[in-house]
Structure 1
Amino acid sequence: MRKLYIFIGLIISCSSTFCYAESKIDLKGFHGKLRAQLHELGYLSELNDKYQLRLTEVTIDPQGYMKDHHHSGPGIRCVISGELTYVINSQKTLYKTGDCFTERGDITHTSANAKNKPVKLLNFELLPGSVKDNENSLQPVR
């Protein structure tokens, strides 16, 4: 059983915190915590080291925002509490608790919490294997 725990520990890294402030994106009140990360992709072994799966829990403070940005890869976002205002291609959408949506990664968008209580999201992402374990997936608009 001990070997199983060691094996799982090598594959999944849990509870690391991302520093979004280090990105070159105009933002306020975003906090990310890495919940799980998978580098070895089982039967998809030809993708090992080329891609990784990542789950991040993101908290957005009241009145928090993230201006124009995109990501290193595509993902699925699920709102687990609060309301997220999301703008892509000038179209504004309000996502509420229980809503999930997808992002391609390569399309510029903004996110904001216009309410007076925090928003919590689960971000599931497919990222290049070159993204470091302690790096967030944010990319500035070029």
Structure 2
Amino acid sequence: MTTLRRAAALVALLLLGSIPAARSDDAKFKGAVLDQQALGSLSGEYAMKMTLLEMDPGAAIPEHTHKGPGMRYVLEGAIAIAWKNGKTEIFKAGSTYFEAPGSSHPMGQMSARNVADGKTRVLIFEILPKQ
């Protein structure tokens, strides 16, 4: 099994593991793919990391880089992401977005800002080179 398939299987298990068990034989459940991103070939050893980002209203994250690819899921609020192509996108609760490895944000700018009136919470899944 390739590293990419192992990582995808791990994410699926994490997501399915969060579905509560049925209480009766006729109880129903469903799953839906929220987002999908091709990663290409990965060589070497990688680890999966999951982080909960919580931002107060108006909080901003300075310019930074990503060591590996990752999906983001906005749980609450809204986050504005500034991309290195000059565009800014706003992702609201229930939205997903992908951040590639390397520098994803413009130099000299805040890369992400909470644009909601309240707290913004984002669940971050990353595939990182094992250290």
TM range (shorter): 0.5 to 0.7
Partner residue of 2:34? none
Give distance in 2, aligned partners of 1:54 and 1:119. 20
Q: How many angstroms does 1:69 deviate by?
A: 1.0
Which ranges in structure 2 are unaligned for 5 or more consecutive residues?
1-42, 106-110
Q: How many angstroms does 1:115 deviate by?
A: 2.7
Partner residue of 2:102? 106
Partner residue of 1:122? 123
Secondary structure in structure 1 of the residue aligned to 2:116: coil
- More strand by percentage: 1
Give distance in 2, aligned partners of 1:105 and 1:112. 20
Larger radius of gyration: 2
Match of 1:69 among 64, 73, 79: 64
Partner residue of 2:31? none
Q: Report 1:4-83 matches (<5 A).
A: 50-83=45-78
**One-letter identity of the residue aligned with 1:101:** Y
Partner residue of 1:133? none
Give distance in 2, aligned partners of 1:105 and 1:77. 13
TM-score normalised by L of structure 2? 0.59
Structure 1 runs (4+) deviating above 4 angstroms are none
Which ranges in structure 1 are unaligned for 5 or more consecutive residues?
1-45, 131-142
Identity %: 28
Partner residue of 2:38? none
Q: How many angstroms does 1:70 deviate by?
A: 1.3
Does 68-77 or 105-114 show the bigger shift?
105-114
Q: How many angstroms does 1:78 deviate by?
A: 0.6
Secondary structure in structure 2 of the residue aligned to 1:68: coil
Q: How many angstroms does 1:129 deviate by?
A: 0.7
Q: How many angstroms does 1:61 deviate by?
A: 1.0
Partner residue of 2:32? none
Give distance in 2, aligned partners of 1:56 and 1:92. 23
